Structure 1
Amino acid sequence: MPPVSEDIEVFTTKPSASEATFKKGGPIQAKTGESKAIIFYAPKLENIGYIDNTGSDSVTSYSKAIATGFVFSMQQTISTEQAIEFNAEFVKGSFKLTMSLTFSQQWSKVTTETYTFQVPSGKKAFTYQGYIQLATLVHTHSSNTYAFEAYGGNLYTPALVTRNSPILPA
């Protein structure tokens, strides 16, 4: 079984299924005869709120419940026995946000927190949340092959950013 690197990499695009990719993933529980790693790729900023308060003389408040954790489009769970730490860089147009993330078993459940944004009179606010796409890469020991078991998940992070104008793609 190839060792899994402690250096988790967040790939800018979906990588190929290979030993090199596997070594840059986060180890997760697997069946006997195989190893699994969660592969992180394509970090993005998603617009989660916009307030145009330019026509008002008062402060406007907006509350939103923000989910953090793993969200899958198919029936899948993540289970890890150790905490995994990595850095993620969210880039959109000329804007860049870098943060350090640590996840453990608690990240296997989606949690929500409510954030309140206030926008002064005469101003606009655009709020974004960082998320990372993910896939499960399986190494089958008997054949020494690597294959993606599943795509379709996201890791919603607590990274939030608010700007007075939209962050446009490059």
Structure 2
Amino acid sequence: MPPVSKKIKVFDSFPPASKDTFDQGALLLSEKPDEQLSLILYGQDLQNIAYIDNRTSDATAKYDKSVTVGFSFTTTQSISTEVAAEFSIEFVKASFKLTLTLTFSQQWSRAVTDTHSVEVPAGKEAYLYQGYVRSRILRHSTADDTYSWIGTTGTLYTPAYVTRNKPIT
């Protein structure tokens, strides 16, 4: 049977532990019969992952950057889901806007390394950015109908890359 698809929300900031927040996340598999888990995404942003200054060169510079794509947790957490979740992320800065729609399922349960190449012409400079979203697991205890955060904050490194000739502010 193919996985069920669900649209999930990406919150602008860290949301409260509540039923409303839980219902807008991606359901995860739990090993405990008295709990349900939901993956909550929030706080999208861009991080500068490389700066190449080729302003004083007469040759094109090529730069290969190994980057993480997928979930990265600070502890031994991982995610497991039978539901494919789709979400849209908008990365907005004063001088820049990028909208990205992603669908993830079990394949997103861990981070992988990818290589991104950038060529900078002679006399130019380049800033390379990668989009990311914070993640946290929200637990619903069915025994007492309460909601609480578990584990630590994780990061979903997206496959969204942006190259600019000036810093994004």
So what's the TM-score if we normalise by structure 2? Answer: 0.93
Opposite residue 52 of structure 2, the aligned amino acid is I
Bigger Cα displacement from structure 2, 143-152 vs 129-138: 143-152
Q: 1:39 offset after TM fit, Å?
A: 0.3
Where has structure 1 moved over 6 Å in runs of 4 or more? none
Tell me how far 1:95 sits from its aligned partner.
1.4
Which residue pairs with 1:89 in the alignment? Answer: 90
CA drift at 1:152:
1.8
Residue correspondences, number? 164
Question: What is the deviation of 1:92?
Answer: 2.7
Find the counterpart in structure 2 of residue 45 from structure 1: 46
1:108 aligned partner: 109
Instruction: State whether residues 74 and 152 of structure 1, in contact with CA within 8 Å, keep that contact through their aligned partners in structure 2.
Output: no
Identity %: 49
Q: Give the structure 1 partner of residue 56 of structure 2.
A: 55
Could you tell me which residue of structure 1 aligns to residue 128 of structure 2?
A: 127
Give how far 1:108 is off: 1.1
Shift of residue 49, structure 1, vs aligned partner: 0.5
Confirm or deny: 8 A CA contact 1:59 1:119 kept in the other structure: yes
TM-score with structure 1 setting the length: 0.93
Does 1:75 find its partner at 2:76? yes
1:133 deviation in Å?
Answer: 0.3
1:58-83: per-residue Cα shift (whole Å, max 9, x none)? 10000011110110011211001121
Q: Quick check: which one's strand share is greater?
A: 2
Taking the aligned partners of 2:20 and 2:7, their CA distance within structure 1 comes to 12
- 5+ residue gaps in structure 1? none
CA distance in structure 2 between the partners assigned to 1:54 and 1:128 by the alignment: 19
What are the superposed Cα offsets for residues 109-139 of structure 1, whole Å, 9 maximum, x if unpaired? 2111111100001111000000100000000
